[in-house]
Chains A and B, each alone.
Chain A
Amino acid sequence: MQDRIALMRDDPAVELSVDGNAIAGLLMSVFGREVTAMEEQCAHCRTVSVVGTLRVYMRGPGVVVRCPACAEVVLRVVETPSGRRFDASGATHLVAGR
């Protein structure tokens, strides 16, 4: 995993990333409430992160959200002709709090 973190730190694409804060509005339209202060667990490395700290790449045709610890994909959001497709297969769960 350390290699992967080093890889991500050295990757010039990291400069293109923004934080989970940037998709707070998008996530609110998916979940119906604010979720960036909640915690999620990465399905790849099991690191628990606040959604607002996830690494977001939104310059492509969809939005790709990566784990800040292992750089694996946690969430994907794509607009398709049949609707918004939300893929959360890279996260084990989200803690909704109270």
Chain B
Amino acid sequence: MTNAIDWQLATVTAVRDETPTVRTFTLGLPGWDGHRAGQHLDLRLTAEDGYSVERSYSIASEPERSGEVDITVERIPGGEVSAFLHEVVVPGDRLELRGPIGGYFVWEAALGGPLLLVAGGSGVVPLMAMARHRARSSAASLATAANGAAGTPARLLLSSRGPEEIIYRAELDTLASAGDGFAVVHTLTRQQPPGWTGYARRIDEAMLADVLEPLGASVRAYACGPTALVETVANGLVRLGLPPDRIRTERFGPTGT
């Protein structure tokens, strides 16, 4: 048993690349009490001279996994903590953290849907925890329901710069092909592969209207990414008729910081 307020030591058990600048770290936490999809943790690095720096990272893994969590970290040019994680940390290292943290930007299967998830770049991380949680709870309800009911209808709109920069690309494809009511819509804002027929611009109100349409206006919406993108999404969804209290946001500041 540990408390979310207390700092605890986690052991890095795995490191894997998601894109050329984004890496996932699996953190072994024997005393972890579990989290809710969308929550984050605070990581603290302390130098020998006592200088210490803290950063918050969204938890990427679903709550159903026990004893460990994944965080997915984008390497920020000049970033103190992200550079350390990318360049120095290897499996076996120990990191100091506290969590889970946050009670507002969370989704649980019991809340229901339909679910509209909108992300820019690494803003997809907390939404991935929701998508994974949704898939696990949909599989669990399929196993118990004789009528073969599908999971919570959900759509993810993900804005990435180019095809190489789509975080979790393969896993998103897998989730979307499960046939349980989850769809992924990509927009590639800077570089598109040959023959690309998807969106090729920044998220705007028209795009939101298209993606929202199959879900109807009773959705719960979660938007995460750079502040300017989240502003566009939140204001756009309100203009499209969503009640503001059905829209939850997590802004992480200017792009690339």
Contact surface of A with B, Cβ cutoff 8 Å: 14-22, 24-25, 28-29, 32, 34-37, 50-53
Contact = CB atoms under 8 A, between A and B. Distances in A.
A21 B227 contact: no
Nearest to B231: A14
Contact of A18 (B54, B248, B251): B251
Given A25-B98, A34-B103, A18 B5 contact: no
Interface in B105-135: 105
Nearest to B103: A37
A52 B56 contact: no
Interface in B49-79: 54, 56
16 contacts: A15-B227, A15-B253, A16-B227, A17-B227, A17-B251, A18-B251, A21-B102, A24-B40, A25-B42, A25-B101, A28-B5, A37-B104, A51-B104, A52-B103, A52-B104, A52-B248
What are the 3 tightest A-B residue pairs by CB atom distance, in nearest-first order? A52-B104, A37-B103, A25-B42
B102 A17 contact: no
Interface string B217-255: 000000000111001000000000000000011111110
Contact of B101 (A17, A34, A53): A34
The secondary-structure label for the interface of chain A is helix
Nearest to B248: A52
Given A19-B251, A51-B104, A52-B103, A29 B227 contact: no
B4 interface: yes
Contact of A52 (B102, B228, B231, B253): B102
A21 B250 contact: yes
Contacts, number: 66
Interface residues of B, number: 24
Among B103, B226, B253, residue most surrounded by chain A Cβ atoms (within 10 Å) = B103
A19 B103 contact: no
A92 B98 CA distance: 30
Contacts of B54: 25
Contact of A24 (B102, B249, B252, B253): B102
Contacts of A19: 104-105, 249-251
B234 to A, nearest CB: 10
A34 B251 contact: no
A35 B102 CA distance: 8
A24 B4 CA distance: 11
Nearest to B226: A15
A29 to B, nearest CB: 6
Contact of B249 (A16, A29, A34, A53): A53
Contact of A36 (B4, B42, B103, B251): B103
Nearest to B99: A25
Interface string B1-31: 0001100000000000000000000000000
Contacts of A51: 104
B252 A36 contact: no
B105 A16 contact: no
Given A25-B98, A36-B102, 7 more contacts: A16-B253, A18-B252, A19-B104, A19-B250, A21-B250, A25-B42, A52-B104
A60 B252 CA distance: 16
Given A25-B42, A28-B5, A18 B253 contact: yes
